[in-house]
Amino acid sequence: MPSRSPKPEPVRTPGNPRGLRDLPFAVPSVTPAQKARARKIASALAEHYPEAVCELDYTNAHELLIATILSAQATDVGVNKATPALFKAFPLPADYARSSPAEIEPFIRTIGLFRNKAKSVHSAMNDVVEKFDSQVPRTMDELLTLRGVARKTANVVLGNAFDINVGFVVDTHIDRLSKRLGLCAPEDSVQRVERTLCALFPRDQWCVLSHRLIWHGRRACSARQGACNDHPICASFGKTCELRDTAKGAVKKPM
């Protein structure tokens, strides 16, 4: 197997507060009041979702990487139905590398965009074998070289498989809730949301907070139906959340 190249020295980002200077981006400035409010939201999420974890099923880093690639524009439930047979047929990264996208496709046919995802899984596992000695890389830059991997996927893998926090997962739930709860501005891009959340919350909580926000988004404050008047978190912290009265077709804003 080819040897791995030495890891580059982390780029220090001037202006970032202590503990965040190794991040490859500058985090926005936040006030003590904003941080205090974010801590209250984090405490409320911990109270309501103490058991929150990644809801993708996996037993090792490469299974998590594959499951996360498959989860793009798909549900975790749908991915979890497909992966047991997939993981049994291809137990190691080398098994995918020796295979082909066409051989992977039948196992993930029930998942949206399965043909393109089969190509991504095959390519990513081939690179894991050939470039990283069959070990899932542990740096953001290396993970981003793999097909099908963007920052969200890389943050999921690093945080859950390796307990490494170099960013904050931002999926559709977290993007929506960060704005409904007034943590970010409604017009913020996904990139801006990630950087703001990194500034607001302690680094060692980024991974678990991503799960708690996702759980709240899935169980209480969905895209179509806000829970502003029904859930303590939304009732206490909702800023721009709207509660749609589907019976009347009206939109109510929380008091």
Q: Which domains does the chain have, with CATH numbers?
A: 32-51+168-208+224-252 (1.10.1670.10), 61-162 (1.10.340.30)
pTM: 0.87
Helix (H, G, I), strand (E, B) or coil at 252: strand
Using pLDDT thresholds of 50, 70 and 90, give the confidence band for residue 246. Answer: very low
Q: State pLDDT tens for residues 23-75.
A: 989 999 999 999 999 999 999 999 999 999 999 999 999 999 999 999 999 99
Task: Give the residue among 12, 28, 67 at the shortest CA–CA distance from 168.
Answer: 28
Task: Give the residue among 48, 73, 40, 43 at the shortest CA–CA distance from 171.
Answer: 73
Helix (H, G, I), strand (E, B) or coil at 157: helix
The catalytic site residues sit at 152, 171
Name the percent of the chain lying above pLDDT 70: 86
Task: Give the residue among 53, 80, 50 at the shortest CA–CA distance from 67.
Answer: 80
175, 223 Cβ separation under 8 angstroms: no
